[in-house]
Amino acid sequence: MPVTRWDGGRVDVEDSVAMSRGVTGAVLRDGFLKDIRLLTLGLVRVRGNSLHLGRIELLRFGRARVSRNRVEWPIEGGLFAGAPGGHLHIEATAGRVAATVEGYRPLLPRPIYMVTQLPIHHLVTRLHLLRVRGRQPAPGVPAEPTKRIAAAAIDIGFCATLAAVSGRRRRVPALLGIAITYHVACWSISGRTLGGMVMGQRLVSVDGSRPTVGQALVRLAALPLSALRLRAIHDEAAGTDVVASPPSPKGGGVRGGG
């Protein structure tokens, strides 16, 4: 889970995911720079050691320092940096891979930073770390395709029923609003929608953890593309998978998340 700590005007931010295999510092360096453009849909590009949005230099890093299982970049400036200082490092240790920003002074005031730049940083960083982790080993037994379709049909029917009884004349906007709220809430809170509960399946991140709100939004946004391509592009984009849920123990509930 993300960690954020403040010390005066500087902030430390950490994101991590579970991972069983080792990764070299060189792989971590090259993978991060490659993923920035992919995960921002080409909006942010790497030029030298800087991140650019068009002609705007968002962040400028110093030369990467690479060790056996770690890479570190000093933060030297850019539009998003209130002052030079701090660093970003990514490290693979026993059981996890973590990306940490330490001593960074954002340009944006803290309240604005917390609701704009920080959530985007957490989302992009988490998606990158899940890509580093990879989809193997799988986080559980994959749910059967027929059961996934049946669960989706149940969820669509449930959302349509809620829209119909809402009493609103504009049923299509109501349906969209209900469907977005329902799926994002269910996926990020427990990983289980009503359809998932009925069909015995659950959504998890590829490391077995509970999906974040950001992952849920990415997955939902990519769902139409998956329907067109007949491929689980939404799970690829969000770093998620649908796994079969084990039966509930007697007298106990089913654990959400992973």
pLDDT the model gives residue 227: 87
Query: Which residue shows structure tokens 């749910």?
Result: 143
CA–CA distance, 86 with 105 (Å, rounded to integer): 8
- Phi and psi angles of residue 76, each rounded to the nearest 5 degrees, phi first: -110, -15
- Quote the mean pLDDT of the chain: 92
Indicate the length of the chain as a whole number.
Answer: 258
* Most distant CA pair in the chain, distance: 62
If pLDDT is split at 50, 70 and 90, which confidence band does 91 have?
very high
Query: 3-133, what's its fold?
Result: Alpha-D-Glucose-1,6-Bisphosphate; Chain A, domain 4 (3.30.530)
Per-residue pLDDT, averaged over 68-91, amounts to 97
pLDDT the model gives residue 252: 39
Q: What is the pLDDT of residues 214-256, one digit of tens each?
A: 999 999 999 999 989 889 999 999 999 999 987 554 443 333 3
55, 43 contact by CB (below 8 A): no
With the CA atoms of 33, 38, 40 and 44 taken in that order, what torsion angle do they form, in degrees rounded to the nearest 10? 50
CA–CA distance, 116 with 113 (Å, rounded to integer): 5
Q: Where are the domains of the chain?
A: 3-133, 145-244
SS3 state of residue 108: coil
CA–CA distance, 167 with 164 (Å, rounded to integer): 7
